[in-house]
Structure 1
Amino acid sequence: MSCENLIMHPLRSDHTNTLVHATSPYLLQHAGNPVHWQQYGPDAFELARQEDKPLLISIGYAACHWCHVMEHESFENQKVADFMNEKFICVKVDREELPHVDHYYMSACQVISGQGGWPLNMFVTADGKPFTGGTYYPPKPGYGRPSWMDVLAFVSDIWKNRREEVLEQADKLSAHVHQSQASLLTLKPESVADGSDTEKIFRHLMSQADEVNGGWGGAPKFPAAMVLQFLIREEWFRPDDQVRKHVQKTLRHMHYGGIWDQLGGGFCRYTVDASWLIPHFEKMLYDNALLLETYALAYGRWQDPEDLEVLNGILAFANRELVAPGGGYFASLDADAEGEEGRYYVWTNEEIESLLADDAVWFKKRFQVSEDGNWEGRNILHRNHPGGKSPSSPGQEAAMAALLQARSERVKPALDDKILVSWNGLFLHAMLVAYRATRRADLLQATLDHTKALLEHCHVDGILYHVWCKGQVTVPANLDDHAALIRLLLALFGETGNKYWYDQALSLAEFAVGHFSDPESPLFYDHLPMESLPVRTREVFDYAQPSGNALFAQSAFTLYLYSGEQRWLDLHHQLTSAMQTGMERFPQACGQWLQAAQPLQHPVAELVTAGPEARSLLAECHAEWYPLLISLPVCDRSLENMPFSTDRFDDNVTRIFLCKDHQCAAPVSTVSEYAKLLKAF
């Protein structure tokens, strides 16, 4: 199966460019450009062959501030567009629609310059091989960069006059990217079960911690959600005050900082400073998914009401700003509004005083509002660091509501209304983790409803699709989509006992093994074959999002526990073995992998509630937190053929079974008895 054969890419029409046929908000933003943009696909590459031109592949996403800047400066300029149209076949790519295309060309850009980012502008031969490129280019030389027109003229000249050098460079660069992909596949199976490796990783992470602000690293500062999740779980097994305090410090500093929307909830992507104050204002579903799961784990672990406040704030933001009417969640909110980055979120001192009157005094102290502001004359709301005194008021809720209402009347950031299966899989799984931590039944029901909608619209005629937007599905699903959805479906099976979810997960897992596996490596490819990509890529590290390989490793272990089939345990061992060296050397880029490997080091609790009240008793059991737990309520005899639930159901009584490696303690009937078993586990 090939991705390209399942996507229609119409060529130039009477419109300015073919992007008018797209559903992606990012592509539609460029539909009115005088540049003759094409959508990515075989038609564009064939046109390049016919006209003997290089392709300019320009990659970005709807919430990207510098993508908007370059569009306004260059792609809306008629003179620039005329030159681009004359000399190049110009292709626009939404990196969120085609992440594997972005991954390949970003890897090439990093080989060329040692840097990456968006917008990404790569010059490519008709066989898909990049030969030069970069990120943002200004309209005039500056920032240590040539102008965009200088770049275009240079590339046009070498294509015309130094073609052999260009083709040689393209071959070398493509080979280098291929080699770099191959170098990721270092197998070390003999060390998988060596507990000392995990201890070294634990210490390595803490040696790199930012002891002042929390988190890791300096500016720009990204939330290391998956690493935090690993440490929350790991600290249960290896109690350590330094680790616990650092995790809690990080959670508080992010909560109190400008990266958190103090009025409306939800996190921005990152901050440009080391102290979490000045955010890059775009809000992404996947960031909030990962952080929702992080704060839910923390709340389940420590029952800190401030973690619950953040958990509820993320859910409120998502259900107000990102929820789709037909089910699922949209992708992101732009960083810009009214042509200015962050304009929607910041306040002048005068605006606060005018809107809040007498309440302005305490509000300004609590949220650090000043006459001069802390960002371009305006104020990014933030709070004193934990431990400092922040005066509040009985009228705080009303004041916050008044400002939120006033903000809602401003011009809003643009909404990217793509529904991406992988990102929704992450968010809905996080919602389930939040359900377990809070035992709010509405969260379980919402997860069920959104997942049903996702399957109904995105799993069509046996094919899972990556994007659902404006009533259409486009782009066959990649590994990330399968892995995130499989993990979600297995978690739903574990909460409901409805075998439909297990059967769907198993079917998708079988498809993934059959279509993404590599006979020369235990690690899976990211995407289905594409003729236009010289290298079939795999993203093995956990960067902004978890690696699909890491998520699939977690699900393979869960499938083994539910099914008892050794092949899934073997697959889990193969995947984690392949990344053992990566986990040891680059633990900050392996947060999901570290969690996937934890069952090799620590006991997994297999919790089965069986009987007429199995679901409600399971919900009560969630009051007792354990970091590695697989559950299943057995409500009738329909699951008798599964080893996880054989001979457990009794029509007359509901019992609790706590097991390890399919070996169970004597059943108990109450949560207090279960808590004693778990404490001794």
Structure 2
Amino acid sequence: MPNRLAAATSPYLLQHADNPVDWQEWGPDAFAEARERGVPVLLSVGYAACHWCHVMAHESFEDEATSVYLNEHFVNVKVDREERPDVDAVYMQATQAMTGQGGWPMTCVLDHDGNPFFAGTYFPDRPRHGQPAFTQVLTALVDAWENRAEEVAGVAERIRAHLQGAVVPAGADPIDAAVLEAAAATTEREFDAVHAGFGGAPKFPPSMTLEFLRRRGPSAVVDRTLEAMARGGIFDQLGGGFARYSVDAGWVVPHFEKMLYDNAQLLGLNARWGTPLGDRVARSTADFLLAELLTEQGAFASALDADSDDGTGHAREGAFYAWTPAQLTGALGDDAAYAADLYAVTDAGTFEDGASTLQLLRDPEDPERAESVRRRLLEARTSRPRPARDDKVVAAWNGLAISGLLDAGLRLSEPAYVEAAVRCAGFVWQTHWVDGRLRRASRDGVVGANAGVLEDYGCLATAYVELAAATADGVWLERARELLDVVVAHFAVGDGAWFDTADDAERLVTRPRDPADNASPSGHSSLTHALLEYAALTGSGEHRELAERSLAAVVEIARRAPRFAGWSLAAAQTALDGPVEVAVVGPDDEARAALTRAARTIPGAVVVAAEPGTPGIALLEARDTVDGRAAAYVCRHLVCERPVTDPALLRG
């Protein structure tokens, strides 16, 4: 019999709708029930593509005896972290404070006011590797709740006080050239000179940090890391797109879930890299988005699962993507040995059970044969059971996808990518913009009730400014302004920083405020980019000043942990350099296109190209051709140098 998640819109919650656990969604009803029954709230947070969420569900939440105990002693609440990033942020901060680490599934136990007094992540069904069984944890928690109430209240109060006091201090100084130089030096010292990227295992794509370094000029750190990811198992060598992270330090074996936010960022970054390998990866990643994440409405789904049926009725991580030599033979016949050498498939395997992830460690000597093999393997893979898709549409991540598709479409001269970006942007505005405010997520074209958070406003406003520049259509600039107006009115802290939730959002234990980047840009850093780019196109001093104050607010993170401020540092580098604004005016011909392509090689530049006299964008005002020829005006703060007609004078 379905529990109280049966009417949810979240694919993650629906995965648990048939659990014997009497789950319900986050909300005041759950806490009212807990008060009435005199039991604590058990909060379980995860997301649809999460491998270990599936494992814990199968081991514990589908188990009758465990579920009976949970239903008797707790009010059980499920949260999709991607729909409620505010709830996730608060309790992840508590989990990290109490355990020293975080991750999903996240398990917290709360009092009737939402204060956590216990937190952890995955718990096995039996004691394993020094971890207690989930049922042992539950029994101890119930004993504490019933017999040591003062101790529980004391822990809850201490954690509440910690959460309310744990605020990253806003800096008083700007991020100046010295801060940027020190941040770049620290980042380069942390570079993995053996495998590229940063840190050991697991290793995540450092998209934002690489963009910061790229904007500073030629960088071996950028080149080596992008090449290592492009050639490694983290990149789907057959169908395009990147997995969420590599479980090893060498980019060989990924955690196979594919997230929209990763692929959107890496799509744009590879397109901006401007190398033949980067162009190939950008095309392949854009094509992956359009082939596998595009929804009927023209927006993009959130993720593909890591797990899929292995052909025997059992879900297994990586089953869709890994290959054995025998499987290559079945798909390719006489070309199997060539494919094994090309893609580093070994008899021993690089993954599990003799299977290998596919790597492309060198460029093929015979590109036509290699392409034939790739297409045949891709076709053979279509007969395998596919990973499930989390098809909810998240506003922030679709903003990132719009930006990535624009970068790829404009730099690779692929109008289909630009058209897809425009269609996506239109859907998000028509569906997620409700009564003058942004909603976080939709599914099947129906918007959900959850309010947009700062990253939704920041990523989407950035995308709309970039759409205005790409299309010379001022309507996108107007929509960006509406988004930014809401942020200024409802999210400001007052010291240059920004809250992650609006002032009229649901009250939680604490109001989240985290300017640090993680796998995707923070709301703070994404908003900073939106403010800077809006100011570049409009000349708005108000928005430029807000951007500069936002940058000052993250100066301490930039000094202490620059890799967690990569996107803010990228914005700061652009702000320090100008930013550069380029207006290209002329008839829609090859001369204008050549100038526009050259202008887009300038790191961080905001570029708009249009016919003379195009209205709605201040950067284009009073710009004209030179002797009837297309001309480019390079400007800073809308003050322009003499126009040029030679693309060679614009190269970044």
TM-score of the superposition, structure 2-length normalised?
Answer: 0.95
CA distance in 2, matches of 1:436, 1:146: 54
In the alignment, does 2:537 pair up with 1:562?
Answer: yes
Report the equivalent of 1:203: 185
CA distance in 1, matches of 2:430, 2:506: 30
CA distance in 1, matches of 2:4, 2:447: 18
1:245-304 CA distances to partner (integer Å, 9 max, x unpaired)?
Answer: 2321111111111111111111101111100011111000101111111111101xxxx2
User: How much has 1:509 moved relative to structure 2?
Assistant: 0.3
Report the equivalent of 1:126: 112
Report the equivalent of 1:9: none
Report the equivalent of 2:648: 675
Report the equivalent of 2:47: 61
AA of the residue aligned to 1:505: A
User: How much has 1:646 moved relative to structure 2?
Assistant: 3.2
CA distance in 1, matches of 2:590, 2:57: 53
* Superposed counterparts of 1:169-180, under 5 Å: 169-180=155-166
Cα 1:620–1:564 change in 2 (3 A) is closer
In the alignment, does 2:138 pair up with 1:152?
Answer: yes
In the alignment, does 2:253 pair up with 1:269?
Answer: no
Cα 1:54–1:614 change in 2 (3 A) is farther
Match 1:115 to one of 96, 101, 114 = 101
CA distance in 1, matches of 2:331, 2:621: 63
Q: Which moved more, 1:588-597 or 1:440-449?
A: 440-449
User: How much has 1:675 moved relative to structure 2?
Assistant: 3.3
Contact 2:613–2:620 (CA<8 Å) still a contact in 1? no
User: How much has 1:318 moved relative to structure 2?
Assistant: 1.2
Contact 1:195–1:601 (CA<8 Å) still a contact in 2? yes
Cα 1:453–1:643 change in 2 (3 A) is closer
Cα 1:564–1:505 change in 2 (3 A) is same
In the alignment, does 2:451 pair up with 1:469?
Answer: no
Match 2:607 to one of 616, 620, 631 = 631
CA distance in 2, matches of 1:390, 1:497: 41
The secondary structure found in structure 2 opposite 1:607 is strand
Identity %: 36
The secondary structure found in structure 2 opposite 1:509 is helix
In the alignment, does 2:217 pair up with 1:217?
Answer: no
Contact 2:117–2:152 (CA<8 Å) still a contact in 1? yes
Report the equivalent of 2:350: 374
Contact 1:347–1:379 (CA<8 Å) still a contact in 2? yes
Contact 2:258–2:306 (CA<8 Å) still a contact in 1? yes
Cα 1:448–1:615 change in 2 (3 A) is farther
Report the equivalent of 1:231: 213
Report the equivalent of 1:414: 388
Report the equivalent of 2:71: 85
AA of the residue aligned to 1:55: V
Cα 1:385–1:499 change in 2 (3 A) is same
CA distance in 2, matches of 1:369, 1:122: 42
Contact 2:308–2:316 (CA<8 Å) still a contact in 1? yes
Report the equivalent of 1:432: 406
AA of the residue aligned to 1:457: T
1:348-407 CA distances to partner (integer Å, 9 max, x unpaired)?
Answer: 211111221111121111112222222222333333645xx8665743222222221221
Contact 1:362–1:392 (CA<8 Å) still a contact in 2? no
CA distance in 2, matches of 1:291, 1:574: 28
Report the equivalent of 1:76: 62
Q: Which moved more, 1:253-262 or 1:644-653?
A: 644-653
User: How much has 1:336 moved relative to structure 2?
Assistant: 0.5
User: How much has 1:436 moved relative to structure 2?
Assistant: 2.9
Contact 1:87–1:156 (CA<8 Å) still a contact in 2? yes
In the alignment, does 2:297 pair up with 1:322?
Answer: no
Cα 1:169–1:531 change in 2 (3 A) is farther
1:589-647 CA distances to partner (integer Å, 9 max, x unpaired)?
Answer: 1110111111342132221133554998257422341002122335364637x653332
Contact 1:551–1:596 (CA<8 Å) still a contact in 2? no
Q: Which moved more, 1:614-623 or 1:145-154?
A: 614-623
1:448-502 CA distances to partner (integer Å, 9 max, x unpaired)?
Answer: 1221122112112323111011332111111111000000000111122211111
CA distance in 2, matches of 1:404, 1:626: 36
Match 2:22 to one of 36, 39, 57 = 36
Report the equivalent of 1:453: 427
AA of the residue aligned to 1:398: S
In the alignment, does 2:277 pair up with 1:306?
Answer: yes
CA distance in 2, matches of 1:106, 1:452: 33
1:105-146 CA distances to partner (integer Å, 9 max, x unpaired)?
Answer: 011011111011110010011111111020111111112111
Cα 1:502–1:554 change in 2 (3 A) is same
CA distance in 2, matches of 1:162, 1:531: 31
Contact 1:23–1:470 (CA<8 Å) still a contact in 2? no
CA distance in 2, matches of 1:611, 1:314: 32
CA distance in 2, matches of 1:70, 1:126: 25
Contact 1:295–1:307 (CA<8 Å) still a contact in 2? yes
Report the equivalent of 2:582: 607
CA distance in 2, matches of 1:153, 1:283: 36
Report the equivalent of 2:312: none
Contact 2:346–2:356 (CA<8 Å) still a contact in 1? no
In the alignment, does 2:293 pair up with 1:349?
Answer: no
The secondary structure found in structure 1 opposite 2:42 is strand
CA distance in 1, matches of 2:57, 2:323: 27
Report the equivalent of 1:188: 172
The secondary structure found in structure 1 opposite 2:544 is helix
The secondary structure found in structure 2 opposite 1:622 is helix
Contact 1:348–1:373 (CA<8 Å) still a contact in 2? yes
Count, aligned residues: 643
CA distance in 1, matches of 2:295, 2:567: 28
CA distance in 2, matches of 1:514, 1:651: 43
CA distance in 2, matches of 1:132, 1:226: 33
TM-score of the superposition, structure 1-length normalised?
Answer: 0.91
CA distance in 1, matches of 2:410, 2:445: 33
Q: Which moved more, 1:25-34 or 1:629-638?
A: 629-638
CA distance in 2, matches of 1:643, 1:305: 35
Alignment RMSD (CA, Å): 2.1
Match 2:259 to one of 284, 305, 317 = 284
Cα 1:173–1:426 change in 2 (3 A) is same
Cα 1:48–1:446 change in 2 (3 A) is same
* Superposed counterparts of 1:473-512, under 5 Å: 473-474=447-448, 475-512=450-487
In the alignment, does 2:634 pair up with 1:658?
Answer: yes
Report the equivalent of 1:259: 234
The secondary structure found in structure 2 opposite 1:623 is helix
AA of the residue aligned to 1:77: D
Contact 1:110–1:116 (CA<8 Å) still a contact in 2? yes
Gaps of 5+ in 2: 310-314
Cα 1:124–1:407 change in 2 (3 A) is same
1:552-587 CA distances to partner (integer Å, 9 max, x unpaired)?
Answer: 112212222333332212111111011112112111
